[in-house]
Amino acid sequence: MKKFVYILASAAMLCGARPVLAQDQEGIFNLYYSMGLATGDLHDYISRYSWRGMGMEYKSEITDNVSMGIGAEWNTFYQDMNQGTFTRDNVAITGDQFRYMNSFPMSARINYYKDNAAGLRYFAGAGIGTTYMIKALDMSIYRFTQDEWQFLIAPEAGVSYDIDASRTIFLSVKYNLNLKTKDLAGQSYLAINVGFGFR
C-alpha cells in the first residue's frame, strides 16, 4: 500500500511542478553519467564502488538563482562475494554470492545557484520523490529477489560551467537517502554525476 502512496505523492509533485515550468523562459535538459558509493545498509550488502549508472533531468529557471525540475536515474551496484560462509544461528551456507542492487530514483528537484567571476556556477538543492529498488542475490543456480518502492530525499551540490549559450558541463554529488519500508531497510548512497546540459 505504501508504495502506491509514494507513487501518488511523487506523481502529484511532478504534476504540481508543471505549471511552474510552463511559466519559465529558460529550461535545461541534463544528461549524465552517474557513479555510486553505497553507504549504510546498502554498503553492508555491496561495498564495491558502482561505475554503472545514468540519469537525466529537466530543470527550469524560475528566477535567476533558482530552478525547479524533475529527473530520473539508474544506478547498478554489484559485488561478487567470492566463496564465503554465511552463518545464522545453527545454519551455515557456503558458496559464491553474487549481489546486485538496481536503483531507479525519480524526484522533483529544486536548486539554488551562485555564480562566480570565473564563469563557474555553484549550485545546491534537494530532491524529493521515490525510488524503485530491485535487490537480487545469486547463489548456486538460485536467485533471490526483492523489489520495493522507497520514499526518497536527495540533497545535492555541484558546479556547472557554460561551454556556450546552449551547452553546459557539470559535476555534482547527490546523496540518495531512501527511507526504510516494512520489508527493506533504508538504502542510501552517494551518486557522483558528470554530464552535459542542453538549453
Q: Which residues bind another protein (CB under 8 A)?
A: 29, 31, 33, 52-54, 56, 74, 76, 78, 80, 83, 85, 87, 90-96, 98, 100, 102, 138-141, 166, 196, 198-199
C-alpha 154/C-alpha 169 separation (Å) is 21
Beta carbon of residue 93, minimum distance to another protein (angstroms, whole number): 5
The per-residue b/e assignment along 6-42, b for 16 or more CB within 10 angstroms, e otherwise, is beeebeebeeebeeebeeeeeebebebebbbbbbeeb
Identity of the residue, 13 or 46, whose beta carbon is nearer to another protein in the bound complex = 46
Beta carbon of residue 151, minimum distance to another protein (angstroms, whole number): 24
Beta carbon of residue 34, minimum distance to another protein (angstroms, whole number): 9
CA 40, distance to chain mean position in Å, is 15
Structural contact between residues 160 and 121, judged by C-beta atoms closer than 8 angstroms: yes
Identity of the residue, 65 or 94, whose beta carbon is nearer to another protein in the bound complex = 94
Identity of the residue, 25 or 83, whose beta carbon is nearer to another protein in the bound complex = 83
